Amino acid sequence: MNIKDEQNAKYLLNKVTNSSKALQCNKDLIFKYYNESLASGQKLASIVNYLKVLSRLTEFVDKPYKEVSREELIVFFNNLKPLPVVLHTPTHTFTYDVKEYSPQTVMRYKTNVKTFFRWLFEGDLDAKRDTDGTPLQVSWIKCNYRKLPSRRPKEVLSREEVGEITKILAAKS
């Protein structure tokens, strides 16, 4: 296992545990999902991605997950904004405010929520579903990465460019 993934998982699980807004039943479901995902052999990096969006969803909803409506999930995704990115160096801490998530990140979060809700309603014979067996709350989510605009190379900084920016910012401090 990657140490960074372990640290991220621990951080996100602590965030869920210490959340004053989250309902205990939702916290319990996140831990159950986490443990089942680990036991089934899912990679920790993937589980961390689920924890990222589920920790945000837990803060947003004020009812048990099974009672969350399609409309509430739509509002959640429409209002989902990135948290500031914090970079810790040995001598400084830099904070960068990201204006919006990339289309790929939003799609990944939607896909993760859809997968979680499928897991949540697995075996629930009373749950309302579409013709594919997907719970109605998340049946509107279409997971098609091919139709998303791809990042052009000029939009992504190289390691060298990031290093130069870090040096310049450190010199200014």
Count, in order, helices (H) and strands (E) of the chain: 6, 2
Give the span between the Cα atoms of 72 and 145, in whole angstroms.
23
| Cα Rg of the chain (Å, integer) | 18
Of the candidates 80, 89, 75, the one whose C-alpha atom is nearest the C-alpha of residue 108 is 80
**CA–CA dist 91, 159 (Å, integer):** 19
pLDDT in tens, 134-160: 898 999 998 876 666 665 555 677 888
What average pLDDT does range 19-47 have in this prediction?
A: 95
Of 102, 98, 108, 93, which is closest to residue 141 (Cα–Cα)?
Answer: 108
Exposed, middle or buried: residue 157 (CB in 10 Å: 0-12, 13-18, 19+)?
exposed
In the chain, the largest separation of any two C-alpha atoms, in whole Å, equals: 62
pLDDT at 162: 86
Which residue ranges make up each domain of the chain? Answer: 3-172
Tokens 């509430």 -> residue: 72
Percent of all residues in the chain with a pLDDT value above 70, rounded to a whole number: 92
Res. 127: pLDDT tops 90: no
pTM of the prediction? 0.75
Q: Looking at residue 60, what is its pLDDT?
A: 92
